[in-house]
Amino acid sequence: MSQDNREEKRSRYGEETDKIGRDKGGFRMADVQLNAALAVIRGRVGDVVFKKRNGKLYISRRPDFSKRKLSAAQKESVARFRAAVRYAQRVLANPQERMPFERAVQKPGKTLYNSIIADYLNRQT
């Protein structure tokens, strides 16, 4: 494999993969081309994860976090984000609470859900 091809592979798969496209767990991520009916699939199905990056669909093995130990600061961060998600769900369920956020979200690519979570996290700091 020439040097140019190796560089192309690195940039194609990003910093998290090695030069042959393996993720940090050592498994190769599949670059998938599906028909239009299945092109919208995303999320987890069993031990397989479907994810979209830069408009391309990838399939990878579900990560194993069973041996991960969180520090006190990480546990606090997880708890804050969990509270932010509950807040966003509550706001989205109430049309009167959600109205100010709907007016504020005008940027393309920014969702109502994400802006509510950002609002909660920014107010809590």
Which tens digits make up the pLDDT trace of 63-119? 888 899 999 999 999 999 999 999 999 999 999 998 888 877 777 767 889 899 999
Distance, in Å, from the CA atom of 17 to the CA atom of 5, rounded to the nearest integer, reads: 15
SS3 category, 17? coil
- Quote the pLDDT of residue 83: 96
Listed residue (17, 18, 19) closest to 6, CA to CA: 19
Instruction: Evaluate whether 90 touches 57 at the Cβ level (below 8 Å).
Output: no
- Quote the pLDDT of residue 48: 87
Angle 68-72-75 (CA atoms, 0-180°, nearest 5)? 65
Listed residue (94, 120, 54) closest to 102, CA to CA: 94
Mean pLDDT of the chain: 77
- Quote the pLDDT of residue 11: 45
Strand partners, 32: 57
Out of 18-22, 26-30, 57-61, 68-72, give the one with best mean pLDDT: 68-72
pTM comes to 0.53
